[in-house]
Amino acid sequence: MKVGPVLRALPTLFRVGFAEAVAYRAEMLVWILATTMPLVMLALWTAVARQAPIGPFGEKDFIAYFLATLIVRQLTGSWASWQLTFEIKNGVLAARLLRPLPAVLSYAVDNLSALPMRFLVSVPVAIAGLVSVGRSMLPSTAWGWVYFALAVWGGWLITFLVNIAIGTLSFFMESSNKVMDVWMAAFMVFSGYLIPVELFPSGLRKVADFLPFRYQIGLPVEIFTSRHAQDDALSLLARQWLWVVLLALLVHLLWRRGLRRFAAYGG
Amino acid sequence: MLGRYLRLFAIQLRASTLVAAQYRYDFIVEGIISLFYTVTALVPLFVIFQARPTVAGWSFGQALLVVGWFTVLQGVLEGAVNPSLSRVVEHIRQGTLDFVLLKPADAQFMVSTSQFLPWRITSLLTAVGVFGYGFHLLGSVPSLSALLACTLLFASAVTILYSLWIMIVSAAFVVVKVDNLTFLFSSIFDAARWPVSVFRGFLRVLFTFVIPLALMTTFPARAMLGELDLSGLALPVIVAIVFFGMSRAVWLRALSRYTSASS
């Protein structure tokens, strides 16, 4: 496949994806509301921290942390696994494969073109954070902003690649949605979505550092709320992008193996 | 009348069980997944109670009871309520609800009992484990009256859960695509694993009266501890009756707007 035509097709694909996101805005709003779990955790943790801070986290730190979590979750969302499972089972994938464009890329475009709408939702959250917490709600240095951009980008790639990797399992088994459920359960705990990874007991924390989850949400959030020195942030970023590379290889392998088993049903 | 419906219920349940029996190894898979869910759900609890001996007046053992009730209700939701009612959404979209309406039995009853996932009973086993661990930490056993009380509250919790679900499904008659509404509800329901007293202000009011999560998990847990007096017992029961009546009215009203989907 040539790179040139693909690149030329991208802007149009994004426009189509964006139009779709606008058309189904009510539905998208419900999806966004369904990811407001950080607000519940915010209420919970600030209630606990009201008497005295927990470890390095005071009340304001928790507010900053969980509002940032809400934003990062919006920016790193992907649902390609469910899409892929559905399309493999129904044979709709065939239509996608016919396009002169790598199918994985078309899923990426699908998911990414929802970003502008989701970004719109994040802005008021960020403003609410700025009003209640003040400056510590934003990265205080220039490198902080750069690293944050890299970390969000890496976080999205990990989320997306895992989605595709688990989705391709549907080539081999009846439905991979159960696998995704298990992944999500582990993600909730180890990603820092419900508890900041910093608060884990040290043994558990070492485990979390080795797993991919904390690089999906935790790392971007920690960089955003300036919880790392530059060196630490850099070494964590390196680990994150190592996961990105590993997962990309895995997807490459699974996709090629799986596609051979694909049979489109229906006419 | 009642006997007929009980017989119908038994038939529907048997059909679901027969289907489930074809996928026997699912019992083990579901069991492992349920255990995994519960263990991961306990991690935040461990972290919080490592920093504090009590949170909002709840010790670790007591909070475990809330988690136990949450696990039970999640099992009920995913095993008995969600599967059949998400079918309704499909029926409405495709117009096949016609076939249900044609049957000489109450439509709400028919759709509510159309599918069960018996293997989700593994959640109950996991919950028993959590209860056991909680009472082990508390160093006590629940009294007989406490057990009776929490059985009553369990029944009202299931009623509230079911009624909420019927109301959500009724929305499908109007907006057609509600699979994401069910997802939204499941994610809100997640908050039920915490004792309601940790929440304040808006969330507290929301979780007590609008979406009464507090009555579903916190109250049964307190009943188990023998902390509830008569008025504390009466509140969930009354709310359950009100919610059930409301959901029936909403369902009938929504059904009257059903126009089928064919040409």
Helices B60-76 and B122-138, axial angle in degrees (round to 10): 170
Dist CA A164 CA A178 (whole Å): 14
Tally DSSP H helices, then E strands, for chain A: 13, 0
Q: Is A178 on the interface with B (CB under 8 A)?
A: yes
Which candidate in B35, B40, B60 is best for mutational testing of the A interface (most A CBs within 10 A)? Answer: B40
Residue type, A51: Q
pLDDT at B3 over 80: yes
Q: Indicate yes or no: CB of B183 within 8 angstroms of CB of A54.
A: no
- Mean pLDDT lowest for which of A160-174, B15-29, B71-85? B15-29
Rounded to a whole number of angstroms, the distance from the CA of B55 to the nearest CA of chain A is: 6
Dist CA B192 CA B187 (whole Å): 10
Q: Is B56 on the interface with A (CB under 8 A)?
A: yes
Kindly state the average pLDDT of the residues B174-181.
Answer: 68
Q: Are B207 and B196 in contact (CB under 8 A)?
A: yes
Q: Is B98 on the interface with A (CB under 8 A)?
A: no
The residue with greater pLDDT, A74 or B85, is A74
pLDDT at B69 over 80: yes
Q: What is the pLDDT of residues B188-228, one digit of tens each?
A: 888 888 888 888 777 788 888 788 888 888 888 888 888 88
Predicted confidence at residue B242, as pLDDT, reads 94
pLDDT at B11 over 80: yes
pLDDT at B181 over 60: yes
pTM, to two decimals: 0.82
Inter-CA distances, A213 with A161, A189, A216, A247, B41, Å: 12, 9, 5, 12, 16
Kindly state the average pLDDT of the residues A45-71.
Answer: 84
The residue with greater pLDDT, B85 or B137, is B137
Kindly state the average pLDDT of the residues A184-192.
Answer: 86
The residue with greater pLDDT, B20 or B7, is B7
Domain-wise residue ranges, chain A: 3-259
* Averaged pLDDT of chain A: 85
pLDDT at A124 over 90: no
pLDDT at B263 over 50: no
Dist CA B227 CA B239 (whole Å): 19
Kindly state the average pLDDT of the residues A229-234.
Answer: 87
Predicted confidence at residue A267, as pLDDT, reads 46
pLDDT at A159 over 90: yes
Neighbouring-strand partners of residue A54: A57
* Pick from B52, B184, B194: CB nearest A44: B194
Q: Is B22 on the interface with A (CB under 8 A)?
A: no
Dist CA A184 CA B109 (whole Å): 33
Predicted confidence at residue A266, as pLDDT, reads 56
Give the percent of chain A with pLDDT over 90: 20
Rounded to a whole number of angstroms, the distance from the CA of A6 to the nearest CA of chain B is: 33
Predicted confidence at residue B167, as pLDDT, reads 87
Q: Indicate yes or no: CB of B33 within 8 angstroms of CB of A199.
A: no
* Confidence class for position B262, pLDDT limits 50, 70, 90: low
Q: Which chain A residues contact residue B51 at CB under 8 A? A: 48, 54-55, 199
Q: Indicate yes or no: CB of A195 within 8 angstroms of CB of B44.
A: yes
